[in-house]
Structure 1
Amino acid sequence: MMSWIKKLETNTPNVWVQWVRAYILRGVNFWDFCLTAAHSWFWSNIINCRDALIQIADTIDHAKNLLCKPDYKQQIYELLRQKGSVLPMYKTVGDSLNYPKHKIIGLLAIQNKLPTLDNLSRRGLQLANKCVLCESHSECAPHLFFECFFSAVVWCTVAQWLAVPPLTSMNAISMWYKGHNRGKSLVKRQRRCLLLCSIYQIWNERNRSVFKGVKTPPASLIWKIQYLVTLRLSHIVE
């Protein structure tokens, strides 16, 4: 849409531009034009984009100046997009030692964006909210990953391997990453891989229980986590 606005602003010798000026604008300045119900969906979107551009640029003159720059699309995009705070774990989660799917689920879990039953209910889906791993509590990210008996057993073993106190929340994991687990040494990379693998396997076990009705004992899941991390390390060492 911004490219069409630029063509109108610079009066590009284009059939569409000339048609718009003759039959829609009819002598009215593009930046002052007001929509009516009779205008098309396409033209409405152009005017809405114009208004959004004026809003982020603060003034019409600044908006015009942006459109005159060669990289106007990039500059407008940078103004439009919302920049959130960088996750403390972002760079370490991206370590090549970590399994790709573990990285994705790990980041979603940290931000509480996984489709747990409480998140689904907030989106309007009416579902019976009960944790499928313990069947004694409603499902939410804090319970599923830390408060549930099943997960607590897994994290207790993982904490012993890492020689750290029990990890009881995503925030605790995030802060541990930030304060004690940065670096490129193989030991620290192994710890990061172990944490992400644990998060992923708990989530995967939840999905197996929901969609397949299959339940795995905590001991079997712990063995699988240890096996996957060892397998990943064997490729690095070789």
Structure 2
Amino acid sequence: MYLSNLAQGEKVQWHRYIWNRLSIPKHRFILWLATLDKLKTRSRLHRMGIAADCSCPICGIKPETVAHLFFECTYSVECGTAVLKWLAFSHCKSGLIALLRWVQRTASSDFRRRVAYTAISATVYHVWKARNTCIWQLQVPSIQKLVKDIQGDVKYRVQHLISKKVSSSDLLWFHTL
């Protein structure tokens, strides 16, 4: 019975992006919810009859969906672009799974790929946190502060979990970040 129920599950391809050992667990969880489009955005709450307004709390221009919050809102686009530029990646995709797959294909090593996944999960987490700060405290953190917090989280986490198998060129790249 167990095996028959187990076989019914759908295989997903994004698990390796999200459940990266270098990512902070609470960042992984928010990234997982965002990937599944299960974050309690205003549009989602509006469809449930909980929220009266479905506009983005940060920009106020469009309805707040996962796609808008992380890839269309000017605030998050600037944050994401700054973080990827910090990692020497160019931002080219407009969806979470597409961005993670793009990083998988373009990263020059496994270590750099995992650091990029860690940075993406930190970015999603901090943008979500900034959105909540905007709603509950009526203030939006500056982009510079948000990017600095993301960089600090990524550097701290990776430094404490870095493997001895990482190449010297990757170590040099990481230490110059």
Check whether TM > 0.5: yes
Task: Give TM class, smaller chain.
Answer: 0.7 to 0.9
Q: Is contact 1:155–1:167 with CA below 8 Å preserved after alignment?
A: no
Aligned partners of 1:167 and 1:122: how far apart in 2?
27
Q: Does 1:196 align with 2:118?
A: no
Counterparts in 2 of 1:1-238, with a 5 A limit? 72=1, 74-75=2-3, 77-78=5-6, 82-86=8-12, 88-162=13-87, 163-181=89-107, 185-237=110-162
CA drift of 1:98 comes to 0.6
TM-score, structure 1 as length reference: 0.61
CA drift of 1:172 comes to 2.1
**Secondary structure of the corresponding residue to residue 22 of structure 2:** coil
CA drift of 1:212 comes to 2.4
**Secondary structure of the corresponding residue to residue 116 of structure 2:** helix
Runs of 4+ more than 4 Å apart: none
Aligned partners of 1:230 and 1:75: how far apart in 2?
41
CA drift of 1:76 comes to 5.5
Cα distance, 1:189–1:174 mapped onto 2, change above 3 Å: closer
Letter in structure 1 aligned against 2:100 = S
Letter in structure 2 aligned against 1:94 = W
Letter in structure 2 aligned against 1:179 = R
Identity of aligned residues (%): 25
Cα distance, 1:158–1:118 mapped onto 2, change above 3 Å: same
Q: Is contact 1:182–1:188 with CA below 8 Å preserved after alignment?
A: yes
Q: Is contact 2:42–2:51 with CA below 8 Å preserved after alignment?
A: no
Per-residue Cα deviation, 1:20-71 (whole angstroms, up to 9, x for no partner): xxxxxxxxxxxxxxxxxxxxxxxxxxxxxxxxxxxxxxxxxxxxxxxxxxxx
Cα RMSD between the aligned structures?
2.3
CA drift of 1:75 comes to 4.2
Per-residue Cα deviation, 1:50-105 (whole angstroms, up to 9, x for no partner): xxxxxxxxxxxxxxxxxxxxxx4x246437xx51231x221232122110011111
Unaligned runs of 5+ in 2: 164-177
For these two proteins, the number of residue pairs brought into alignment is 162
Q: Is contact 2:70–2:124 with CA below 8 Å preserved after alignment?
A: yes
Unaligned runs of 5+ in 1: 1-71
